[in-house]
Structure formats: structure tokens, C-alpha cells
């Protein structure tokens, strides 16, 4: 029978009475069993690794439901630090009351069990949180979001207790307290380094986020097992059993959807679903936004990507050279391949897994397309070609990376444009919350002689930067001369074009509050009840 809480306390108290001899009694320290210093050192190392592994995997567990924004990361890091601080304080007090290895091992095995349960309990709570966000109940969203984060308080607090508890068990004399504490904290820090890099670089791409968290729990359980009372040996066995239980999809599809692909990379969670109408959609992280779309019928998507289709007509014609920054699953490059088959297209996408998914599930198979796996700005810094048209559609949902929206960045873009070339930026914001659009347009106007803005959908604005002075009427006329299926988007874009005046405060590498502007827009949108949400 599993031991109850009272049984555990009784065992701890019994072990507390155990002394190793007169020397221990004289020092007031309860000796740990004959496992020796190696066990405490190993435990501290593994606990340090588990703390950071929990932080890294915790943020990624949240990403498919809430995104991987700075706001999410701030909450995760803050929660981890608060939990560790509480663990240090409680661990120190508990170490004085129960100065023995069995008590410490019991706390560690509780942390292991709590970690092992998270991959199975996270989805229902996170889905409830996501539904609260979808229904635009801001208070419920925030409350449930912090409720989800609270899942990590128990294991991380328990892990925080390991270091002070281990110091209490290791110090045999005051004269060696400093060297003992230094050695154990060094081991804890080395463990934290391992817990930072091993999951991200090896385990998550190899076995996934949830398995990484489960095997972190197994490592803790196995390390604690030698010091456990034999009546608690079922606990590490249970942790190991949970680690081999089959896991379902990371994020279940919506009504009428079918998951075609799920994967995890060092950058994000990647999912391709097929909707009821046959459209294929690429979701990254929280999945609220569609990052690429392959329509089941026709060529056009019926969304903001279509706004890019007529732009070659005013930037180089049918034989131009195009660059897509933020290629994702290839929606824009695929549209260009179909509508402008003689164009040469370069795409830049930071995540190779997204490119693989695009080629396999979203028909991104254009022989004139070459995709580079790199960060957009880093790639521009090291590249030489000039382009007639550069489109920029790079998001870490819901944020545009700030360094892709500054004056310095747009100067770099301008240096890669041919005379008469055009830069086009998609800026996604909630309806009627276009302050960010204005700041990016102002920033582009500090670089380009002509900038125009068009609100193409309720959630998307297209900002155009011309390398030559161009009148609004002339730009509209060039767009409206577009033929074929791109004519409709061209007319819609032309009808919304509005010039941007010079002046205003540009975003710079030193000061680009993209996150603040985005958060304000989202909060205002939520407060208004999210009209037009889809």
C-alpha cells in the first residue's frame, strides 16, 4: 500500500532520531546514510539541471496554447525564481528540523512525481485557458493562465530546497562551511547549465517537450531512490512508468480539423492541419494565427497573403528577383511561383522544420525558389544580391521581432533593393488598434522617400516602401493594371492606399517598444470584446 502523508512524516521523524554516533550528537547534525558525499553532490547536480529543464520545457508547454512571447517568458522566469526563493527558505528550515537524507530524498521524489504529472494534466488546463482567450474574457484568461503556471510551483519549490538541505547535511564543522557551500552551489550551477542546453539542443528535438519533462522526472527519481525508505520505492517506479505511457497529440485539432503533422524544433512547436473545407494551415506555437495557408481550391488564399500578389507589377515586372523574409510554409513564394512563374525567388526562414513542413504538406515545390535557413536580418547582413521586391512577414506571434522593424533594419533592406524596388511589410494588429502600423510606417518613411499604408483585412495592414518618389495615384494605377487572378487583390489594395507623411519618431535598435505597443493593442482589443475575431 502506498504510504500516506502521516506515514511519511513518521518515517522522517524515525530517521531523524537516528544518529551516527557521539560526534554527530555533539555537532547537532544528523548524519546522512553511508551513501557518502557522492550522493549529495549528484543530487544537487541533477536538481540544478531539473530546475532549468523545467523552465525551458515549461515555456514550450505553454507555447502551443499561449505563444512564446516575452510576456509568457517573463511569467515563466518570474514563477521559477519565486518558487526557487521559497524553496531555499523552506528547505533551510526543513533541513534544520529533519537533517537526514531520507527526508531530503522524499522531497525530491515528490518533485519528480509532480513533474511527471504535468505532461498529462497540462492539456486540459491549457485548453481551458485558450478557450477563455478565444471567448475574449480577459479576466478569465489571465486567471486561468496563471493557474496553468501554478502547475510548476510544487516541483520547483521542492527542487529549490535541495541546495540548502544538502549544505546542512554536508557541513561537519563551521570551519568548512564556506568550501562545502561553494562546492555544492558550483555543482548546482553546472547542473543548471546542463539543464539549459541539453533539453533545447538535444532532447526536445529528439523526443519532444513532454518526454523531456518526463525523463527529467525520471532522472530525479532515480537519483533520490538510493536514500528512500523502502516503503516508498513505489514512487520512483511510478515515475518511470509514467515516462513510458503513450502520449497523444501535443495540441488536439479544432472541430472538423485533421492533424497532418506535428513537430518541435529548437525554435517552436509546428503543426499542420487540414480544415473541414480542405484548406491546409500551418500553425506555430499557440496556433491562434495562421502562418501559412494552402487553399484547397483556386490560387488565392482569401487572406492578407493575396495582397502581395500584384506587387511585382510595380517592382520589376515579370522577370524580377524577389526576396521573402519570413517564408514560413511558403504561402507567398507559392503564390508568386503560380502567378509570376518567371520570377526568381529567395526565401529566408529561421526554422528548417517549418521549411520541411512547407515542402511536405503545403506544396512549396517551386524550382525557382531557394530557401535559406537563417534569421532574416543576420542573412541580409551577409548577403549581396539586390532584389526588385522584398516582402517581410516575420512574426514570433503575436510580436514582430523588434530588430525587424527599426530604422537600421529598413536601411539594410533599402541597400538590397534595386533602383525602383519596393519593400512590403505585413503588420498584424487587432481591428482599430493600428498604433504599431503607424510607428512602423513612420520608421520606414525615415528611410524611403515614399511610404504608403493599406488596411487589407481586419487584422492586417500592408506597408509599402518605395525607393523612388511615387505618387499615390501613380501607385494605384500601376496596381490596377495587374491582370489575371491577382487583379482583385490589386484593386482592393489600391483602394486602401494612403501616403505616410515624413516626420514622427522612428523605431531604432536602441528603442523599439514593439512588445509594449502590441500588448496595449491586444489588451484594448480584449477590453472591447474583440469585434470581428475569427
Q: Are 19 and 29 in contact (CB under 8 A)?
A: no
**Ranges of the chain whose pLDDT falls below 50:** 1-34, 132-141, 143-144, 532-534
376 C-beta neighbours (distance < 10 Å), count: 26
- Rounded CA-CA distance 76/153 in Å is 10
Asked if residue 398 has a cis previous peptide bond (ω within 30° of 0), the answer is yes
**Residues 6+ away with beta carbon under 8 Å from 131:** none
**If phi over 0 gives left and psi between -120 and 50 gives alpha, with beta otherwise, what is residue 428?**
beta
Query: In angstroms, rounded to a whole number, what is the distance separating the alpha carbons of residues 418 and 416?
Result: 7
In this prediction, residue 58 carries a pLDDT of 82
Q: What is the DSSP letter of 196?
A: H
∠ CA 328-333-336, nearest 5°, is 160
Specify the pairing of strand 417-428 against strand 387-392. Answer: parallel
Rounded distance, CA 476 to CA 360, Å?
Answer: 37
Closest CA to 376 of 390, 366, 358: 390
Long-range contacts of 181-190 (CB under 8 A, 24+ apart): 183/41, 184/40, 184/41, 184/44, 187/41, 187/44, 187/45, 187/48, 188/44, 188/45, 188/47, 188/48, 188/162, 188/163, 189/48, 190/45, 190/48
The CA distance from 67 to 300, in Å, is: 27
CA 380 to chain centre: 24
pLDDT of amino acid 405 = 94
pLDDT reported for residue 225: 92
- Measured between alpha carbons, how far is 449 from 25 in angstroms, rounded to an integer? 83
* Tens digits of residue pLDDT in 306-359: 999 999 888 766 667 899 999 999 999 999 888 888 888 999 999 999 999 999
pLDDT per residue as tens digits for the range 272-320: 999 999 999 998 876 567 899 999 998 999 999 999 999 988 876 666 7
What count of Cα atoms within 13 Å lies in the side-chain half-sphere of residue 387? 26
Q: Which domains does the chain have, with CATH numbers?
A: 43-243 (1.20.1250), 301-527 (3.40.50.150)
Contact predicate 85/164, CB 8 Å: no
C-alpha cell at 508: 531604432
Count the neighbouring beta carbons within 10 Å of the beta carbon of residue 383.
16
CB burial of residue 527 (10 Å; 0-12, 13-18, 19+): exposed
Neighbouring-strand partners of residue 259: 273
pLDDT in tens, 139-165: 434 544 565 666 788 999 999 999 999
**Which are the contacts of 8, defined by CB distance < 8 A and separation ≥ 6?**
106, 232
pLDDT in tens, 477-496: 999 888 889 999 999 999 99
pTM of the predicted protein model:
0.73
C-alpha to C-alpha distances, 116 to 3, 154, 155, 236, 399, nearest whole angstrom? 19, 12, 10, 10, 32
Amino acid at each position: 500500500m502506498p504510504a500516506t502523508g502521516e506515514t511519511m512524516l513518521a518515517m522522517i521523524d524515525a530517521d531523524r532520531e537516528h544518529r551516527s554516533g557521539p560526534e554527530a550528537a555533539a555537532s547537532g547534525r544528523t548524519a546522512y546514510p553511508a551513501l557518502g558525499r557522492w550522493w549529495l553532490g549528484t543530487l544537487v547536480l541533477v536538481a540544478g539541471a531539473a530546475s532549468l529543464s523545467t523552465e525551458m520545457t515549461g515555456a514550450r508547454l505553454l507555447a502551443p496554447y499561449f505563444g512564446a512571447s516575452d510576456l509568457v517568458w517573463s511569467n515563466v522566469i518570474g514563477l521559477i525564481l519565486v518558487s526557487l526563493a521559497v524553496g531555499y527558505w523552506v528547505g533551510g528550515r526543513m533541513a534544520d528540523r529533519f537533517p537526514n537524507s531520507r527526508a531530503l530524498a522524499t522531497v525530491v521524489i515528490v518533485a519528480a512525481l509532480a513533474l511527471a504529472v504535468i505532461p498529462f494534466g497540462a492539456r486540459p488546463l491549457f485548453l481551458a485557458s485558450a478557450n477563455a482567450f478565444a471567448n475574449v474574457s480577459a479576466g478569465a484568461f489571465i486567471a486561468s493562465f496563471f493557474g496553468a503556471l501554478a502547475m510548476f510551483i510544487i516541483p520547483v519549490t521542492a527542487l529549490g530546497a535541495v541546495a540548502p538541505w544538502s549544505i546542512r547535511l554536508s557541513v561537519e564543522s563551521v570551519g568548512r562551511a564556506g568550501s562545502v557551500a561553494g562546492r555544492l552551489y558550483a555543482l548546482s550551477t553546472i547542473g543548471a547549465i546542463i539543464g539549459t542546453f541539453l533539453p533545447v539542443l538535444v532532447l526536445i528535438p529528439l523526443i519532444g517537450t513532454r518526454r523531456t519533462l518526463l525523463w527529467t522526472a525520471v532522472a530525479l527519481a532515480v537519483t533520490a531512490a538510493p536514500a528512500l525508505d523502502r516503503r516508498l520505492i513505489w514512487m520512483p517506479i511510478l515515475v518511470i512508468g509514467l515516462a513510458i505511457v503513450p502520449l497523444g497529440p501535443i495540441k488536439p485539432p479544432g472541430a472538423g480539423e485533421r492533424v497532418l503533422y506535428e513537430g518541435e524544433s529548437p525554435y517552436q512547436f509546428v503543426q499542420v492541419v487540414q480544415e473541414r473545407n480542405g484548406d491546409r494551415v500551418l500553425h506555430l506555437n499557440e496556433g491562434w494565427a495562421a502562418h501559412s495557408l494552402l487553399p484547397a481550391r483556386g490560387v488565392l488564399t482569401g487572406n492578407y497573403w493575396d495582397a502581395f500578389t500584384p506587387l511585382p507589377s510595380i517592382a520589376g515586372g515579370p522577370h524580377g528577383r524577389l526576396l521573402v523574409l519570413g517564408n514560413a510554409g511558403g504561402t507567398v513564394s507559392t503564390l508568386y511561383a503560380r502567378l509570376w512563374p518567371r520570377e526568381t525567388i529567395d526565401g529566408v526562414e529561421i526554422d528548417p522544420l517549418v521549411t520541411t513542413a512547407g515542402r511536405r504538406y503545403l506544396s512549396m515545390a517551386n524550382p525557382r525558389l531557394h530557401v535559406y535557413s537563417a534569421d532574416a536580418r543576420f542573412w541580409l547582413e551577409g548577403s549581396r544580391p539586390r532584389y526588385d521586391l522584398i516582402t517581410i512577414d516575420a512574426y514570433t506571434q503575436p510580436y514582430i521581432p523588434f530588430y525587424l522593424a527599426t530604422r537600421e533594419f529598413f536601411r539594410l533592406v533599402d541597400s538590397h533593393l534595386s533602383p525602383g524596388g519596393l519593400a512590403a511589410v505585413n503588420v498584424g494588429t487587432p481591428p482599430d488598434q493600428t498604433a504599431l502600423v503607424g510607428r512602423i510606417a513612420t520608421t520606414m518613411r525615415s528611410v524611403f522617400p515614399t511610404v504608403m499604408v493599406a488596411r487589407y483585412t481586419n487584422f492586417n495592414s500592408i506597408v509599402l516602401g518605395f525607393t523612388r518618389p511615387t505618387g499615390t495615384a501613380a501607385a494605384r494605377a500601376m496596381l490596377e493594371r495587374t491582370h489575371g487572378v491577382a487583379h482583385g487583390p490589386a484593386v482592393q489594395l489600391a483602394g486602401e492606399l494612403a501616403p505616410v507623411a515624413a516626420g514622427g519618431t522612428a523605431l531604432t535598435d536602441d528603442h523599439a517598444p514593439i512588445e509594449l505597443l502590441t500588448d496595449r493593442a491586444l489588451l484594448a482589443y480584449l477590453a472591447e470584446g474583440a469585434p470581428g475575431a475569427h
